[in-house]
Structure 1
Amino acid sequence: MADLPACPPPATSGTVTRSSGPGAAEAVGVYPPVSVIVATLDRPGLLERTVAGILGQNYPGTIECLVVYDHVPVRELDLPTGPNRTLKVIANARRPGLPGGRNSGVDAATGELLAFCDDDDVWLPAKLSRQVARLADPAVGAVSCGLRLRGPGIDAERVLDRSWVTFDELLRDRIMEVHSSTILIRRSTWSAAGEVDEEIPGGYSEDYDWLLRVAAQAPIAVCPQALVIVDWHGGSFYFGRWTTVVEAQRYLIRKHPALASSRAGLARIRGQIAFALASGGRRTEAVRELAAVLRLNPAEVRVPVTVLVILGLVTGERVLRMAQKRGRGV
């Protein structure tokens, strides 16, 4: 596959062009309307900051921001909208949790393009302009961008040195830079990939599952600039929820048989299962899982830390905290 072009600068006119055949292009009129879904349990202050970043984009087209309250009281937000900007607050009408909230937002969205933002992350002003320009290429169904991790003790950019991320690459590695708050996707690609899975245990790895399905449609393009600030607070919703991690990762393996085609990718996920089993005190199961990991990939990086947890020399929570201080997961 030929290299896709690098992400262009923000557009300056009111139209974008899209190829209609070899050597031909046609104007498609106004900038396509974008719907941005923010699923939230309501975090006053942080939520307003997130929404302000969305409404404050320099994108000339229409932006519809939908804040989806996840089975908590719906609160109106007192924020200026401005021309071509609308703000809607709705309740999650689906299963409680992040997947249901995002799906409820898409159900109510009207835009041709869809995007998501976590309720504590912040978009920089040029995000949508740069990404919509990349979507002018009809071969691109979804586009990501770089990010900046910012929180106690960390302020670091994570920008990929490539123009796209393929399905095979995502099988091998989660690629944390392709973050849910960075994705802009065509509605047609959303429909082809399917909605966020509400059945995955605890919602764990729901973003990775969805991204695999998106990348199976076409490579995910990448704008090589950090256009999203990810609030990295050094904690995790899944601290101590080791059984949920085990169940969700096993669910993921069953759902995506293609993972078996990547020994490194399968070893990574089974390494996470082994780590969670050890951290939850299920040492005998962890040893069996670790043996399978070693057969798949003896160099899997989770093997040494899992051994330490099995031996009782360190807790899983401590390992996870140390990793997150460096801007990583386990």
Structure 2
Amino acid sequence: MSTDPDVSVVIPTLNRPELAARAVRSVLAQTHANLEVVVVADGPDPITRQTLEAIGDERVRVIELPERGKAPNARNQGALAARGHWTALLDDDDEWLPGKLEAQLKLAATATRESPVVATRMISRTPRADTIMPRRLPAPGEPLSEYFTVRRGLFYGDGFIQTSTIMAPTELLRRVPFTVGLRRQQELDWALRAVQEPDVELLYADDALVLWHQDEDRDRISLENPWQEQLEWLRANRSLFTPRAYAAFTMSVLSSMAAPTRSGRVFRELLSEARTHGRPGAIDYVTFLQIWTLPPNVRHRLRDAVVGRRSAADVR
């Protein structure tokens, strides 16, 4: 019988041994035990190596890269080193609930295509409360670029995919690697490119099986606002979006990054980009205006009031 694991779990990290250890323990607590954990240190990191070795589980191995290449490169290197048929991704500051891999493997068995990408819902945890994301799953026949980007409410989107929820065939992650150098929208970029492959479909487990820690006092890539870089990425990848999705991304996600500039020139540039290359809907115009006219703290308070907050007990 083969000694290879069913699933390889890739965790990129650097100099955050306590967080990495928490993430690793959540993997080792999975109800599906035939797995390996490939922790990819994005540069020399002896403290993390020592911390994880102290866990004392032979399923855990640490790869230290010689120099920093950031998380997308670390994920790619982890996929190259993976021994499992499946590779699941986990950011070092997130956790899994115990039944995540078991649920994903059962769902993968129902796939109609050879290389399914299997995601799950997640619990987004902030110091204020817990929220289930995504709020809805894709409708049959709905273009995924529109599912991920087109809003149905003024202050929030419904569709979502996050790295720590993704499990895919290891071969697919090698064939369609993460884009090295991209700081934001890494999972959106990867998912939209992956589903272009003829043998790929995207499946979602209905349950929230990932705990996404959004500690507001800790630096996160998702808090950076490189709007010029994102605009270049969007223009270079226009073919991945329907016109409706292209406009929605420009007028919501990209505008949220650029609005702190308070620049009339940038306002006009993004509006022109959306109208020239996309097809905005009425809600896109309203969203665009409220992003540019309301201060972020006011928008956040309004979003909380509109969306509502579930307590941790409600989520459980």
Query: Is the 1:116–1:182 contact (alpha carbons within 8 Å) kept by the matching residues of 2?
Result: yes
Query: Is the 2:80–2:174 contact (alpha carbons within 8 Å) kept by the matching residues of 1?
Result: no
Q: How does 1:148-187 map to 2 (within 5 A)?
A: 148-158=123-133, 161-162=136-137, 168-174=143-149, 177-187=160-170
Aligned length: 285
Q: How does 1:24-173 map to 2 (within 5 A)?
A: 33-61=6-34, 63-74=35-46, 75-76=48-49, 77=52, 78-81=54-57, 86-92=59-65, 96-140=69-113, 141-158=116-133, 161-162=136-137, 168-173=143-148
Aligned to 1:15: none
Query: Is the 1:205–1:249 contact (alpha carbons within 8 Å) kept by the matching residues of 2?
Result: no
Question: What whole-Å deviation, never above 9, does each CA across 1:184-220 have from its counterpart, x for those lacking one?
Answer: 111233244x1000143xx211111001112223321
Which amino acid counterpart does residue 198 of structure 1 have in structure 2?
Answer: V
Secondary structure of the 2:60 match is strand
Distance, in Å, in 1 between the alignment partners of 2:214 and 2:108 is 28
Aligned to 1:12: none
Q: How does 1:278-297 map to 2 (within 5 A)?
A: 278-293=259-274, 296-297=280-281
Do structure 1's residue 304 and structure 2's residue 264 form an aligned pair? no
Aligned to 1:11: none
Query: Is the 1:135–1:143 contact (alpha carbons within 8 Å) kept by the matching residues of 2?
Result: yes
Higher RCO (C-alpha 8 Å, min separation 6): 2
Which amino acid counterpart does residue 79 of structure 1 have in structure 2?
Answer: I
Question: What whole-Å deviation, never above 9, does each CA across 1:83-116 have from its counterpart, x for those lacking one?
Answer: xx61011123576211111112112211110010
Query: Is the 2:4–2:84 contact (alpha carbons within 8 Å) kept by the matching residues of 1?
Result: no
Q: 1:214 to 1:323 in 2, by over 3 A?
A: farther
Query: In the TM superposition, what is the alpha-carbon distance from 1:29 to its structure 2 partner?
Result: 9.3
Query: Comparing both structures, which one devotes a greater share of its residues to helix?
Result: 2
Moved more, 29-38 or 281-290: 29-38
| Runs (5+) with no aligned partner, structure 1 | 1-27
Query: In the TM superposition, what is the alpha-carbon distance from 1:69 to its structure 2 partner?
Result: 1.3
Distance, in Å, in 1 between the alignment partners of 2:27 and 2:12 is 14
Query: Is the 1:146–1:157 contact (alpha carbons within 8 Å) kept by the matching residues of 2?
Result: yes
Query: Is the 2:255–2:292 contact (alpha carbons within 8 Å) kept by the matching residues of 1?
Result: no
Moved more, 162-171 or 139-148: 162-171
Secondary structure of the 2:161 match is coil
Do structure 1's residue 253 and structure 2's residue 253 form an aligned pair? no
What is the TM-score normalised by the length of structure 1? 0.74
Aligned to 2:204: 222
**Identity score, percent:** 22
How much is the aligned-residue C-alpha RMSD, in angstroms? 3.3
Query: Is the 1:92–1:100 contact (alpha carbons within 8 Å) kept by the matching residues of 2?
Result: no
Q: 1:187 to 1:120 in 2, by over 3 A?
A: same
Query: In the TM superposition, what is the alpha-carbon distance from 1:163 to its structure 2 partner?
Result: 7.4
What is the TM-score normalised by the length of structure 2? 0.77
Secondary structure of the 2:22 match is helix
